[in-house]
Amino acid sequence: MYLCSKLSILMKDYPQFISSESIRLPNEGKITCTSPSNIALVKYWGKRPVQLPENASISFTLDACKTITSVSYKKRDVVSEDFDFDLLFEGKPKPDFKPKIQRFFERIEKYLPFLKQYTFTIETSNTFPHSSGIASSASGMSALALCLMQLEKKMHSDLTDEDLLQKASFLARLGSGSACRSIEGPITVWGSHQEINNSNDAFAIKFPYKIHQNFERYCDTILLIDKGEKQVSSTVGHDLMHGHPFAKRRFEQAAENLTKLKGILSSGDLHGFIKIVESEALTLHAMMMTSLPYFILMKPNTLSVINKVWEYRKQTGSSLCFTLDAGANVHLLYPDSEKEQILDFITSELVAYCQNGQYICDKIGLGAKML
Ligand code: PMV
């Protein structure tokens, strides 16, 4: 059997994901995969080594905001101690991305023993504008992880689709935590949670319960408030949760919110959804503001938009709500049935707060795929 018992998930080194060395190494070829970004409803903020979350999180997988990655592979004549790869971003060499990929390869080598046997050329591009403030690590790392798993499939033809996706999520997590939630869709859960069957810290799973039709075609319009480089990376932000005065309570609160959201996603309670999602967004930023050192990633226009959303909801009874990532941009979430009115509201009232008037219309999607 390709993978050992699922019970070994509980073991530290995840031996079920260590594949045996293959005798059938393909000589050369090219694999292309695409993977979307995702937006967390209950946020992951705080981790322990290696890339394990302090609390379970849940997200909508997106559709339009995605990375397209091709991995060209060629068997090396002489295998050396180093990884051998080149990286092209939008067709041009991108040396500043290389250390991140190097670290990723070091972390996953144990699980993909063929890595040093090949010379790789990784070509990657995003559908969303560069430096838009939209994190490309989730879509980028999950697209690369899926490419590598498709290569592994060529060596181990007994690998089932389910096991392939599971391991792709496991590997993506080692590149960037939230990336593990992008492999599948429309809603995924990452992190062990008492009331979600099969949830675990090692990889994300599809939300395993009925999803009410109210949430089936949810939209996410991303207002690009500030496209500048973040002053504080999420790696640093996660680290600041160690010794944070509110960390323990925050992790408990995230678990409680996920329990509530589980019921809400099944019952279709849009008011309940808004309350949890907006509170989670503001709590994430409250954790940043109460870290030591403290920091603020929201901008004045982020707050203006939030106030406008609250005003609009009060006036119209709409189900429009907002959430935030680790940045100033605002994600507006709403059911497809309200799309027309809400897009009118965005163009007439909110575009003024976007940098260069830019926003991206996205919706719930189904995850990564091979092209
Ligand atoms: O995956 P990372 O390490 O970039 O952390 C992402 C954290 C948030 O986007 C702020 C929340 C989340 O759960 O996606």
Please state, in angstroms and rounded to a whole number, the distance separating the CA atoms of residues 193 and 200: 7
Distances (CA, A) of 237 to 288, 315, 342: 7, 36, 33
Determine what percent of the chain is predicted with pLDDT higher than 90.
89
**Ligand 1 binding pocket includes 171 (Cβ within 6 Å):** no
Please state, in angstroms and rounded to a whole number, the distance separating the CA atoms of residues 134 and 264: 27
Cα dihedral 328/286/305/333 (nearest 10): 90
Q: What pLDDT was estimated at residue 79?
A: 83
Q: From ligand 1's centre to the CA of 177, what distance in Å? A: 7
The predicted-structure confidence for 149-167, as pLDDT tens digits, reads as follows: 999 999 999 999 999 999 9
Ligand 1, atom nearest to 44 Cα: 13
What is the widest separation between alpha-carbon atoms in the chain? 69
**Ligand 1 binding pocket includes 262 (Cβ within 6 Å):** no
**Ligand 1 binding pocket includes 44 (Cβ within 6 Å):** yes
Of 177, 150, 144, which Cα lies nearest the Cα of 59?
177
Alpha-helix residue ranges (DSSP H) falling in the chain = 98-108, 137-155, 161-175, 234-239, 247-267, 270-289, 300-316, 339-345
Does residue 9 have a pLDDT over 60? no
Tokens 């010379």 label which residue? 119
Assess contact for 120 and 84: CB atoms under 8 A.
yes
Q: From ligand 1's centre to the CA of 22, what distance in Å? A: 35
Whose CA is closest to atom 4 on ligand 1?
234
Does residue 273 have a pLDDT over 90? yes
Assess contact for 45 and 284: CB atoms under 8 A.
yes
**Ligand 1 binding pocket includes 163 (Cβ within 6 Å):** no
Does residue 10 have a pLDDT over 50? no
Please state, in angstroms and rounded to a whole number, the distance separating the CA atoms of residues 300 and 143: 34
Q: How far is CA 153 from the centre of its chain?
A: 23
Average pLDDT of the chain to the nearest whole number: 94
Does residue 357 have a pLDDT over 80? yes
**Ligand 1 binding pocket includes 329 (Cβ within 6 Å):** no
Of 214, 228, 137, 149, which Cα lies nearest the Cα of 182?
137
Instruction: Return the structure tokens found at 268.
Output: 């279709």
Q: Phi/psi of residue 108, each to 5°? A: -100, -5
**Ligand 1 binding pocket includes 323 (Cβ within 6 Å):** no
The predicted-structure confidence for 64-119, as pLDDT tens digits, reads as follows: 999 999 999 999 999 889 999 999 999 999 998 999 999 999 999 999 999 999 99
Does residue 228 have a pLDDT over 90? no
Instruction: Return the structure tokens found at 158.
Output: 């007994």
Which helix (DSSP H) or strand (DSSP E) does residue 281 occupy? helix 270-289
Instruction: Return the structure tokens found at 1.
Output: 């059997």
Would you call 173 helix, strand, or coil by DSSP?
helix
Q: What is the band of 131 on the pLDDT scale with cuts at 50, 70, 90?
A: low
pTM greater than the 0.75 cutoff: yes
Please state, in angstroms and rounded to a whole number, the distance separating the CA atoms of residues 38 and 36: 7
